[in-house]
Structure 1
Amino acid sequence: MDVFLIVFLVLGLFLFLSSFFTVKQQTAVIIERFGKFLSVRNSGLQLKIPVVDRIAGRVNLKIQQLDVIIETKTKDNVFVKMKVSVQFKVIQDKVYDAFYKLEYPHDQVTAYVFDVVRAEVPKLKLDDVFERKDDIAIAVKRELNEAMTTYGYDIINTLVTDIDPDIQVKNAMNRINAADREKTAAEFEAESSRIRIVAKAKAEAESKRLQGQGIADQRREIARGLVESVDVLNKVGINSQEASALIVVTQHYDTLQAIGADTNSNLILLPNSPQAGSDMLNNMVASFSASNQIGEAMKRNNQRPSKKVKKSDDFKPSDDYKNLKENEDLSADEDEYDSSK
């Protein structure tokens, strides 16, 4: 008797405890009575009739993610592998549909993703697939929402997380990208070289301009110095021809001194005899004198009124013309004399 009482008490305690169960947060429990749907229980402590009611299943109400990898072909006949991530959840008011209408919801979602991607990607070229991947994701989400809402599922978001072309295609794309970057680098280098050449040319032009300006200033100062030197020599009784000859000879010897100061110079001046300086001075004085006489004779002739000269047997050259000829002959004799020396 005591044994039956103990068994009865234990069985009663077991039935009492089995009447209570808990449901976790973001979870729904399906209760069936003798195999027929009874109710949906939400989170918290719940009660059921032992033996009569049973827990048919639990439905996760959290957002779930399903990664689907699809291999398809683009419009330009390039095979690519795409990874599409689908985020979805069970609608809380449609737990019954989600539990009873679909046996394998993940397979259903995968099938729809395959169908949409293989319908959209073949319309695009490979470059467009990379650029318009968001459009593909939107198309997948729209199609899934239309199909899965009737089954109690809400599609939160769809993402194209990876686009992986064939390895040969990727290598070709990398080569094209490298060639394009090399072309851009070459264009920048060419532009840089052009800028350097233009800058160098401008610098050289400016240098030549300043150099020419310096040479002009130098010659101007030399001429000014020569004028002052001639004025000083004229004041002590030396005429302009002699002063010019003296200055030229002085510059001649200054040049010889400057050349001789350079130990590495191989320059030889011809003639290089001791009397070369005096010969040059004499020649210059004589040429200056002859040129002055010729110039004065030409001035006198230009000052006379022009007359028509008739051809006659008694025509005789004027004295000025004779003097001019004699001076020219004298200069020619002096030149021959200098060359014979």
Structure 2
Amino acid sequence: MSPFMILLIPIGIVVFFILLSSFFTVKQQTAAIIENFGKFNSIRNSGLQFKIPVVQRIAGRINLKIQQLDVIVETKTKDDVFVRLKISVQFQVLKMKVYDAFYKLENPHDQITSYVFDVVRAEVPKMKLDDVFERKDDIAIAVKQELNDAMSDYGYDIIKTLVTDIDPDVQVKAAMNRINAAEREKVAAEYEAEAERIKIVAKARAEAESKRLQGQGIADQRREIARGLEESVDVLNNVGINSQEASALIVVTQHYDTLQSIGEETNTNLILLPNSPQAGSNMLNDMIASFVASNQIGEQMKKENEARGIGATKTRKKRTPPPPPEDPEVNF
């Protein structure tokens, strides 16, 4: 092989690799920055691209997808409680400002983090701990507005900011849990007291209804007993037995019925006093005597009331003023 051929082979290999390195690909949602000897030349989008070997080079690639950066900020609230907030920032490089995003900003993550720290530590110290939980959306809006104003000059668009976590100090969380537990116990105690009150009221109403029904039952029972006694007396009167003898017979009969009912109970402790038939007759005589005396007293009081009424009527008649004189007739 001639020396020329030996020299041509390595030259061909070098040329092949140079031509091969002239072609490159750019992925979807990505932009490539091309420089000529260190100076910006162009921005290449997705697809197969060509660059001049040796003269041009790929300075860098920019991701055009929506990205997320999580920033954890520790600060103090208005009521002197230290709290840690996790802020999630979703951002994207604008296609029209790839040059600014690549050349104007060295580290976008550090820049975004700095702005998030600045806004959160300016907003949260104005709020109490409870307000931080209730107004976390206001914090997110303030962060987004500040970042949009600052990062738009560098070719970044802030899509959304979210306060994804609020973590107070451990002792504060324990105190909050105790407060919450005490509040729930208070509510539970109130409900239990109300339930107990309802049960007491229902029980009292039930007892009142029971007493009313018992009284009605006793009244009905006594009414039926009186009706039965009346019918018994009428039956005895029809066969020639007077009312006093009939009453004595009924008392004696009830006395023996009571003794029989007591004897049927084996475990009863009831003792009937007095327990002789003569005692029942004596009790009947006492009842009749008391009824007669009561009637006599009632008749006497009735007569006295009538006498007083007649006297009062006579007095009112005597005190009646005379009628006024008639007007005399006038003759013209």
Alignment of 1:270-289 (within 5 A): 270-272=273-275, 276-281=276-281, 284-285=284-285, 288=288
Distance 2:19 2:294 in 1: 154
Please give the secondary structure, in 2, of the residue aligned with 1:8.
Answer: helix
1:178 aligns with 2:181: yes
1:138 aligns with 2:106: no
1:91 aligns with 2:75: no
Q: 2:193 aligns with which of 190, 195, 207?
A: 190
Amino acid at match of 1:3: I
Q: CA RMSD in A?
A: 2.5
> Kindly tell me: are residues 279 and 39 of structure 1, through their superposed partners in 2, closer, same or farther at Cα, counting changes over 3 Å?
closer
1:79 corresponds to which residue?
A: 82
Q: Deviations over 1:7-33 (max 9, x none)?
A: 222122122111111100010000000
Distance 1:287 1:152 in 2: 118
Aligned 8 A contact 2:251 2:284 in 1: no
Q: Please give the TM-score of this superposition, normalised by the length of structure 1.
A: 0.83
Q: Deviations over 1:73-110 (max 9, x none)?
A: 00000000111111111111100000000001100000
Q: Which 4+ runs in 1 deviate beyond 4 A?
A: 289-296
1:20 aligns with 2:15: no
Q: Please give the TM-score of this superposition, normalised by the length of structure 2.
A: 0.85
Identity of aligned residues (%): 74
Amino acid at match of 1:80: V
Structure 1: which 5+ runs fail to align?
307-341
Q: Deviations over 1:269-302 (max 9, x none)?
A: 3334xxx313432563587479669969x989x9
Distance 2:67 2:111 in 1: 14
Please give the secondary structure, in 2, of the residue aligned with 1:209.
Answer: helix
> Kindly tell me: are residues 294 and 130 of structure 1, through their superposed partners in 2, closer, same or farther at Cα, counting changes over 3 Å?
closer
Please give the secondary structure, in 1, of the residue aligned with 2:269.
Answer: coil
> Kindly tell me: are residues 189 and 295 of structure 1, through their superposed partners in 2, closer, same or farther at Cα, counting changes over 3 Å?
closer
2:230 corresponds to which residue?
A: 227
Alignment of 1:7-156 (within 5 A): 7-156=10-159
Q: Deviations over 1:38-78 (max 9, x none)?
A: 00000001111100000000001111111101100000000
* CA apart distance, 1:266: 2.5
> Kindly tell me: are residues 283 and 48 of structure 1, through their superposed partners in 2, closer, same or farther at Cα, counting changes over 3 Å?
closer
Distance 2:294 2:165 in 1: 103
Aligned 8 A contact 1:241 1:289 in 2: no
> Kindly tell me: are residues 285 and 238 of structure 1, through their superposed partners in 2, closer, same or farther at Cα, counting changes over 3 Å?
farther
Distance 1:294 1:171 in 2: 83
